[in-house]
Amino acid sequence: MHNDDRSEQARKQLLEMQAALFNLRDGLMNLSMSLRDLACLTDEHGQQQASMEAEQLLGRLRG
């Protein structure tokens, strides 16, 4: 019985660790996307390209 309790406790700890790792992964993915967005905002070439694409889209919508 004592081994069953230990086994159950170890299983719970494993599941908690797995959940924590998944949360960490999700947080890192969100951070990565935020950093990419920030890089685009501070990237002059990216800003120019976005501006040109926006102008082209507006032109198609007007035309």
Kindly indicate the confidence band of residue 1, based on its pLDDT and cuts at 50, 70 and 90.
low
Segment 45-63 shows an average pLDDT of 80
Tokens for 53, please give them.
């694409």
> pLDDT per residue over 38-49, tens digit each?
877 777 877 787
Q: What are phi and psi of 54, to 5 degrees?
A: -65, -40
Total-model pTM: 0.57
Domain borders along the chain are 2-62
DSSP string for 5-29: HHHHHHHHHHHHHHHHHHHHHHHHH
Segment 24-38 shows an average pLDDT of 88
Kindly indicate the confidence band of residue 35, based on its pLDDT and cuts at 50, 70 and 90.
confident
SS3 (DSSP) at 63: coil
Say if CB 24 and CB 32 are below 8 A apart.
no
Tell me how many degrees the CA angle 16-17-22 measures, rounded to the nearest 5: 100
pLDDT at 18: 96
